[in-house]
Amino acid sequence: MTAHPTLRPEPKPGILGITPYKPGKATAEGVAHPVKLSGNENILGCSPMAREAYVGAVGELNVYPDGRGTTLRNAIAERYRIEPERLVLGCGTDEILHLINQTFLEPGDNIVQGQYAFGAYGIGARACQAEVRSAAEPNYRLDVDLILELVDERTKLVFVTNPANPTGTFNTEAELVRLHQGLPPNVVLVIDAAYAEFCTDPTFTDGLDLARDAENIIVTHTFSKLHGLAALRVGWAYAPGPIADAIDRIRPPFNVSIPALEAAVAALADTEFQAKSLAHIEQWRPWLSQQLGGLGLNVTPSGANFILVEFPKTPGKTAAEAEVFLARHGLIVRGVANYGLPGHLRITLGLEEHNRALVAALAEFLAAR
Ligand SMILES: Cc1ncc(COP(=O)(O)O)c(C=O)c1O
């Protein structure tokens, strides 16, 4: 082999320009057991039935899972009354979002999303050398018309999060219908419904009904939030048959592990845990929003298991300083400057004692001179 001292491996163009996804912090300096309210996880844990199923899978660690995840596929299909062959299972929604980008995007194509869109969409698109177009979100809410304005002949995917992360806001069924109707038929509307189970507003939809008869809608769901199985990484997509078939061609064959598949099946059957999780959010979301509003903070109305809170710009009272103050009090919340929201914090709803501690700590923070 001739030596080529000037040649070295180079990632393809654009990769090194990608800002990596920043997960919520999990530690607080000097605090032994902080409360993590930065990851939008299920504060109640997970279904006891799921845990039992996970432990029960310990005897199968030497074998590969069923690559089609047939049992889980059928359980999801039955529960949501959708066709099992139109489902794609993934190692979390995260993997599915990457697979969707890889399936559709060529260099020079573009995706359209909201200004505060969940970071994973853009990362996956940039990895495909596609352009990321972000429409302004007045009042922290996706605006259908502003999204449609950015769509052109190179647009392949439009991403909507419903309810959205990190804002917590949601779009109505009528708005999603209008968005879908405004898109050319070759553009895929991806509706990420990670937090959908927490939104009980009658005008809301997770998009499954819209997707049923459409040839260009994909809806994604996750077991990480309502079901509390974030550690196991299980997500799914409901897609038109030809799209599910295309995505499946590049899906890693054994992408959902046996313990994850079995726990997810059990979680889906545990309607008691699901109801308890939703009731917890419905009890504490209005309470925390009201309490923080009472302290003079702006809280964006949320349909998810977290709230977005705006802090004053006054030195000493800012979001960044509140984040540090709360961490010192053992409460880890999420700074969202990387989403273009330096004046806000995103706070996952905690247990009663966490929520009360949070209000007390913020009252102290805001009162301090
Ligand atoms: C909007 C949104 N989509 C997708 C995900 C990823 O979900 P999963 O845990 O299934 O990968 C998250 C996780 O926080 C999210 O907030």
User: What is the percent of the chain where pLDDT is above 90?
Assistant: 92
Would you place residue 21 in the very low, low, confident or very high pLDDT band (cuts 50, 70, 90)? Answer: confident
Measured from the CA of 97, which atom of ligand 1 is nearest?
4
Measured from the CA of 91, which atom of ligand 1 is nearest?
11
Residue 75: which residues within 8 A CB-CB, separation 6 or more? 264, 265, 268, 269
Residue 239: phi, psi to the nearest 5?
Answer: -135, 160
* Protein residue with its CA nearest to atom 16 in ligand 1: 165
206-246: per-residue pLDDT in tens? 999 999 999 999 999 999 999 999 999 999 999 999 999 99
SS3 312: coil
Measured from the CA of 234, which atom of ligand 1 is nearest?
10
Q: What is the mean pLDDT of residues 13-28?
A: 86
* Protein residue with its CA nearest to atom 3 in ligand 1: 194
State residue 310's pLDDT score. Answer: 98
* Protein residue with its CA nearest to atom 1 in ligand 1: 165
Question: Is 87 exposed, middle or buried, given 0-12, 13-18 or 19+ CB atoms closer than 10 A?
Answer: buried
110-144: per-residue pLDDT in tens? 999 999 999 999 999 999 999 999 999 999 999 99
Can you name the residues that pair with 306 across neighbouring β-strands?
348
User: Which is nearest to 234 in space by CA: 250, 223, 225?
Assistant: 223
State residue 6's pLDDT score. Answer: 85
Ligand 1 pocket: which of 76, 220, 224 to mutate (most atoms within 8 A of CB):
224
Question: Is 359 exposed, middle or buried, given 0-12, 13-18 or 19+ CB atoms closer than 10 A?
Answer: middle
State residue 328's pLDDT score. Answer: 95
**What DSSP line would sit under 242-264, residue for residue?**
HHHHHHHHHS-TT-S-HHHHHHH
Measured from the CA of 96, which atom of ligand 1 is nearest?
11
pLDDT at 198 exceeding the cut of 90? yes
State residue 284's pLDDT score. Answer: 98
Element (H, E) at 345: strand 341-348
- Contact between residue 27 and residue 331 where contact means Cβ atoms under 8 Å apart: no
CA separation, residue 12 to residues 16, 58, 125 (Å): 8, 40, 13
CA dist., res. 128 & res. 110, Å (int): 10
Measured from the CA of 235, which atom of ligand 1 is nearest?
10
pLDDT at 10 exceeding the cut of 80? yes
pLDDT at 91 exceeding the cut of 80? yes
pLDDT at 92 exceeding the cut of 70? yes
Gap from CA of 364 to ligand 1 centroid (Å)? 33
Among 17-31, 105-119, 281-295, the range scoring the smallest mean pLDDT is: 17-31
CA dist., res. 345 & res. 358, Å (int): 12
Residues whose beta carbon lies within 6 Å of some atom of ligand 1? 40, 92-94, 118, 161, 165, 192, 194, 222, 224, 230, 235
Gap from CA of 52 to ligand 1 centroid (Å)? 24
Question: Is 209 exposed, middle or buried, given 0-12, 13-18 or 19+ CB atoms closer than 10 A?
Answer: middle
141-180: per-residue pLDDT in tens? 999 999 999 999 999 999 999 999 999 999 999 999 999 9
Gap from CA of 295 to ligand 1 centroid (Å)? 30
User: Which is nearest to 273 in space by CA: 303, 331, 229?
Assistant: 229
User: Which is nearest to 218 in space by CA: 104, 341, 68, 333?
Assistant: 104
Gap from CA of 93 to ligand 1 centroid (Å)? 6
Gap from CA of 315 to ligand 1 centroid (Å)? 33
pLDDT at 1 exceeding the cut of 70? no
CA separation, residue 292 to residues 160, 304, 367, 369 (Å): 28, 17, 13, 19
Measured from the CA of 224, which atom of ligand 1 is nearest?
9
CA dist., res. 161 & res. 201, Å (int): 16
User: Average pLDDT over the chain, rounded to whole?
Assistant: 96
Q: What is the mean pLDDT of residues 340-349?
A: 98
pLDDT at 22 exceeding the cut of 90? no
* Protein residue with its CA nearest to atom 15 in ligand 1: 194
Q: Are strands 306-310 and 234-238 parallel, antiparallel or unpaired?
A: unpaired
* Protein residue with its CA nearest to atom 7 in ligand 1: 93
User: Which is nearest to 331 in space by CA: 355, 352, 307?
Assistant: 355
Gap from CA of 42 to ligand 1 centroid (Å)? 13
Can you name the residues that pair with 235 across neighbouring β-strands?
90, 222
- Contact between residue 305 and residue 225 where contact means Cβ atoms under 8 Å apart: yes
Can you name the residues that pair with 221 across neighbouring β-strands?
236
Gap from CA of 314 to ligand 1 centroid (Å)? 33
Q: DSSP code of 109?
A: -
User: What is the percent of the chain where pLDDT is above 70?
Assistant: 100
